[in-house]
Structure formats: C-alpha cells, structure tokens
Amino acid sequence: AIVSPVGAAIDQLAEDALRDQVAAAEELHVRIDNVPTYQILNGRVEHLRIAGRGIAPRQFPELRIESIDLETDVVDVDFNRLRRGELKLDEPAQVALNLGLNGGDINQFLQSERVQTWLDDLKFTLPGPGGARERNRYGLSNPILYFLNGDRFQVVVDLEDRVAQEVIPITLELGLQFVNGHQLKLIDPVLTIDGETAPPELLTSLVSGAEDQLTLRTLEESGITARIIAFEIRDNELELAIFARVEPTSSFLASDASM
C-alpha cells in the first residue's frame, strides 16, 4: 500500500481501518497533514482529521450521527497493523470532536431496545403508601424528544403501572447542564402527568434516577475518558463539542478478530 504519493496512500489506509470501527458510514474522509514520510512509516501522525456524515458507531449501531468532525494531537499507531486494515494505538490519543445529531435520529435511537433497557434500570416510586415495596411497580417506555427554544428539551414518555396495567402519558420539560464535563444535570425540570402538575416527590425521584444514569464516566470502562465542552440546539439539531482521551486498550478500537 506504500506507493507515491505516500500521504494519499496512508490517508486511504487510515480511512479503511476507521470504517471497520463503525457499523455504517454514509461519508467518511481522513486526512493526515504535513507529516514527513519517515514519521508515517514509524507510525507517528502529527495531525489527523476525520470528517463524516451518517455515522453509526459499532457500539451503538441504533444511533445515527448526522455529522462528525474530529481532530487529534500527535497519534502513535501500529503501522504494520494499519497496513492490514487494523487501527491499533501504541499510545493514548487526545481528540477534539464535534458531533451533530438531528431530532429524527435521536428519537429513532430512543425507540431502540437498548434505550428501553436503560429505562428499565431506572428505579423510582410514586408518592403514597408502599414506598420502597413498590419500587419495581412502575416503568417508563416510548420516549420522544422535542427541541425547545433556550436550549431546553421536552421529553414525552409513557408511565406504566405494571400492577394496575395502566399507561399514563407524562411530559418532562427541562434544560441540561454538564457538571465537570461528564455528569448530566437536569435544570428547572417541569413534570406533568396526564396534563396535571406532578407531585414534587415524584419529580425528585425521577430526576435523581435519571441523573444517576446519565454520565459520560460509563465510557471509561471502554477505555475512553470524555468531557463535554459545549452543546447547542440549532435547527432541530443538537451540536456537541467534546474532548476525549482514547486508551490503546479501548474496546472502541477492537478489531473484529478480537471481539
């Protein structure tokens, strides 16, 4: 694969290896800038740029990412494995990442079995007698997300009473804030149940359960430390700016042979 011009050949090798790291990619382009040939052959890349559209991560194939722009600092890769179509880091890589997700793709993801499993893990009780004994009585399903003005969101979801076999629509309007870059905090939440304002105790229970689950620190088990730098809602699209550190052992870089 090492032919003249060397840079173009390396770009293609890197692009082919990256395609193996995603479930789907409508567009994917890789560029390695201003690197002497001898450094490339030693596996050292000074500046890597990746741009893509319609990306579905391998770990979350149900989630379509409308756009992705990624830049790295110095990256040290195993060049011999890259020639075989594998992306293997010799050292941790630091990444600046901009993601764009549109409302339709987010809602398709919210309807997936994966998200329903996450919702099933949320434990909460309704106010009144019974308390902890009814912790598994209620569940959530069929979530739908709407973007509102002022970087706020509205989530409509069904509240299921598994004992009475009733389904009640609930609506949660809120803003979002990332504490320390990784922990999602719900700002000024307003909860209504079947059109009526919910009791404060229920709101507190739901918010606490959600905030316990919504943290980027869960990615650390997969060898990625990620922090949200900024996010913005614009034209029915959520734009995120993220800084991440990817460890050589990250499962996000695993080849099919090692999965």
What pLDDT is recorded for position 216? 87
String of DSSP letters for the chain: ---SSHHHHHHHHHHHHHHTTEEEEEEEEEEE-S--HHHHHTTEES-EEEEEEEEEESS-TT--EEEEEEEES-EEB-HHHHHTT---BSS-EEEEEEEEEEHHHHHHHHTSHHHHHHHHT-----SSTTGGGGTTTEEEEEEEEEEETTTEEEEEEEEEETTTTEEEEEEEEEEEEEETTTEEEEEEEEEEETTEEPPHHHHHHHHHHHHHH-BGGGGGGGTEEEEEEEEEEETTEEEEEEEEEE-TT-GGG--GGG-
What pLDDT is recorded for position 257? 40
Q: Mean pLDDT, 10 residues at a time, over the chain (259 residues)?
A: 50 78 89 68 80 91 95 84 79 93 96 90 62 68 91 90 87 88 87 86 77 81 91 88 92 57
What pLDDT is recorded for position 11? 75
pTM of the predicted model, to two decimals? 0.79
